[in-house]
Amino acid sequence: MLEARDLTRVWGKGDAAQTAVDGVDLALGRGEVVALVGPSGSGKSTLGGLLAGIDRPTAGSIVAAGTRIDQLDDDELAHWRGRHVGIVFQDYHLLPTLTASENVELALKLNGQRRGRRAAAKAALYEVGLAEKTHRLPSQLSGGEQQRVAIARAVAVQPDLLVADEPTGSLDRATGEAVFGQLLELRATGTTIVFITHDDELARVADRVVRMVDGRILPEAVAS
């Protein structure tokens, strides 16, 4: 479903240049659930952004959902994202001028869904406990509520690829487990899920745990 080769992302230039992702090879199958773990600053969020097509690699290639996404121009990449990717990142990707419901409806539109968008948005927001707040702007929601809007959006769209960066980081334990369970249900629709976490209990539900250190992926431990 996704194959990244020799993926590299350098932030900054000259003396300040920093290689956040350093020659990563990664292959993900359809419906596979992968937890991306590692110390703070090891490059997890940078790698997540590259896989989701919200950032571009300095070098290397990514084939995802049948498309060589590192070679797309900005418009093509935005279109590809709309069709194929769900993004649950901590601090962006809700549009500030749209209500919770409109954020979900727009994602459905970009995904090519022609009808029933309002009802689907309402149902998804209900599922994450935001039935009473569908008409609020992101600025009128708490961090945890905004995170749940992003989760509702991903669940409604049923993307081919979901990239989630600490998707329950702003939520209390019980709410986090409940909405994370909803994200995992996307597995049944064939969604490939990559989630970044610090939480060993969440990582345990993944099919595979990928560990990053200093921008590189550690060789996978072989079960004995």
Ligand X SMILES: Nc1ncnc2c1ncn2[C@@H]1O[C@H](COP(=O)(O)OP(=O)(O)O)[C@@H](O)[C@H]1O
Q: Which positions lie near Mg ion, rule CB under 5 A? A: 45
> In sequence order, which residues have a C-beta less than 8 Å from that of residue 61 and are 6 or more positions away?
4, 5, 6, 7, 68, 70, 71
As to burial, measured by CB atoms within 10 angstroms (0-12 exposed, 13-18 middle, 19+ buried), residue 195 is buried
Given the complex with ligand X, which of 41 and 144 has the nearer CB atom?
41
Query: Minimum Å distance from CB 45 to Mg ion?
Result: 3
**Residues 32-91, interacting with ligand X (CB under 6 A):** 38, 40-46
CB closer to Mg ion, 45 vs 103: 45
- Residue 191: contacted member of ligand X, Mg ion, none (CB under 5 to 8 Å, by partner type): none
Instruction: Give the phi and the psi of residue 80 in degrees, each rounded to 5.
Output: -60, -45
User: How far apart are alpha carbons 176 and 166 in whole angstroms?
Assistant: 10
Cα dihedral 156→51→4→20 (10° resolution): -160
* Nearest residue (CB) to ligand X, 29 versus 39: 39
From the list ligand X, Mg ion, none, partner contacted by residue 41 (C-beta under 5 to 8 A by kind): ligand X
> Residue 176 interacts with ligand X (CB under 6 A)?
no
Q: Give residues in contact with ligand X (CB under 6 A).
A: 11-12, 18, 20, 38, 40-46
